[in-house]
Structure 1
Amino acid sequence: MNNPNQKSFPVSWDQFHRDSRALAWRLTGMGTFDAVVAIARGGLVPATIVARELNIRVVESVAVKSYDHQNQGTVTVLKSISQQILDIAKNGGKVLIVDDLVDTGATARAVRDMLPGAHFATVYAKPMGRELVDTFITEVSQDTWIFFPWDLDVAYAAPISGGPTNEFVSGA
């Protein structure tokens, strides 16, 4: 989060699990998928949940880097999709691509180019990348930075009012 005007959207493990299952529910009406491709790293967790819920046994990953924890940059493919998955798609099989978020769409475009006929699903979508996904659960504004559960740690939070926290108040 490199812009102080950005909104913050922290997501707990419980919420992320519920949203990933909701994604699976939304996908159930689309028939059986022959394989799922998780976009590493963020898409690994929701892809696992979706694969479990939809009973998809062929699970693959593609590793694409388009930004670090603060800055967006150029798209680099670190690990390509296996030939087995490309063959499934080429022979008319249904392939599902899963990611945690579509942001600017840079990663989505790169993976869509690899599997143009696949169904693309994300848990969260921002407006700039939304048109690149077929199914998503929650849309957030482009100026929102999503803090995923793996980005967070349990820590003290100051009271909203700025009043006393755990101080002993005598005479009450």
Structure 2
Amino acid sequence: MSHRYPVNWQEFYLNAQALAWRLNEGKSWKGLIAITRGGLVPATVVARELGIRKIDTISIVSYDDNDKQIEPSVIKTCQTNNQGQGWLVIDDLVDTGATARIVRDLVPQAHIAAIYAKPSGKDFVDTFMTEVSQDTWIVFPWEEEIN
């Protein structure tokens, strides 16, 4: 990646809150599905803002321990029925769309949202908050100490 974009806690929270407000426009959600691990923190903010208490997860591994993209694999799926109809799926970022495509196969009727979207992946989610260039590496606040 050519550009590192560090996101601080305040910026992250404001973007997650704004995403929740956008998702609240005339909608009622049965529950929320967080994509782990990246979607866990934004899902917490969105669930709190929208008053959602029923939360599940889908765990998809798409990066190795060195932050290199790998072929995505599902290691845990959710327990929803009705193909995800009325459910909200939250992730931190849609990059190539590979994870979102898998999620769409698992819960085709769910509404998929991400805080950040890159051009190659943005068409695979229903809602996103902020678009960044394809060559940007977003450094989330919970990753700062790791990197």
TM-score range, shorter chain: over 0.9
Match of 1:66 among 53, 56, 62: 62
TM-score by length of 2: 0.93
Residue 75 in structure 1 maps to residue 72 in structure 2: yes
Structure 1 counterpart of 2:3:
7
1:63-84 per-residue CA deviation (whole Å, 9 max, x = no partner) reads 00011342111011111112xx
CA distance in 1, matches of 2:103, 2:92: 14
Structure 1 counterpart of 2:139:
147
Code of the residue aligned with 1:115 in structure 2: it is V
The alignment's C-alpha RMSD in Å is: 1.3
Code of the residue aligned with 1:148 in structure 2: it is F
Match of 2:51 among 34, 48, 55: 55
Indicate conservation of the 8 Å contact 2:94/2:116, yes or no: yes
CA distance in 2, matches of 1:9, 1:16: 12
Match of 1:95 among 59, 82, 87: 87
Indicate conservation of the 8 Å contact 1:103/1:125, yes or no: yes
Deviation at 1:127, TM superposition (A): 0.5
Structure 1 counterpart of 2:99:
107
Match of 1:36 among 32, 49, 59: 32
Unaligned runs of 5+ in 2: none
The alignment covers a number of residue pairs equal to 144
- Identity, % of aligned pairs? 51
Q: Structure 1 residues 113 and 70, CA, compared in 2 at 3 Å: closer, same or farther? A: same
Q: Which runs of 4+ in 1 moved over 3 A?
A: none
Instruction: Give the structure with higher Rg (CA).
Output: 1
Indicate conservation of the 8 Å contact 2:85/2:110, yes or no: no
CA distance in 2, matches of 1:93, 1:34: 8
Relative to total residues, which structure has the larger strand share, 1 or 2?
2
Deviation at 1:93, TM superposition (A): 4.3
Deviation at 1:117, TM superposition (A): 0.8
TM-score by length of 1: 0.80
